[in-house]
Amino acid sequence: MDSLTLVAMVSIFTAGITIAIGSIGPALGEGRALSSALSSLAQQPDASTTITRTLFVGLAMVESTAIYCFVVTMILIFANPFWNHFLAQAGGK
């Protein structure tokens, strides 16, 4: 197994782990935030606009974590900075 194949395998494995762990946390956080918001709305229906606005801002912030993990995964798969280094080494031999 050459170094280029090893870099490809490690990159794909790391991308899979990144997106798996990076999507579980935000999903659990969004579910918990939604549950709390619905509970708050049931207790205080007069404050629905404030609760809803705060909920949407919070959900956007939580979702940004999953988006960052997705971006890292795409970089590891399609724009890996190690590819050029190992391709240059393989071509130089």
Cα–Cα distances in angstroms (integers) from residue 62 to residues 16, 66, 74, in the given order: 20, 7, 19
Give me the phi and psi of 13, to 5 degrees please.
Answer: -65, -45
pLDDT of residue 92: 56
Give per-residue burial for 5-40: e unless 16+ CB within 10 Å, then b: eebbeebeeebeebbeebeeebeebbeebeeebeeb
Kindly report the CATH number assigned to the domain that includes residue 23: 1.20.20.10
For residue 76, is pLDDT > 80? yes
In a domain, 92, yes or no: no
Q: Which domain holds residue 69?
A: 3-87
For 3-39, the pLDDT digits (tens) are 778 888 988 999 999 999 999 999 999 999 999 999 9
Please answer whether residues 61 and 33 qualify as being in contact, where contact means their C-beta atoms are separated by less than 8 angstroms: no
For 64-75, the pLDDT digits (tens) are 999 999 999 999
In a domain, 93, yes or no: no
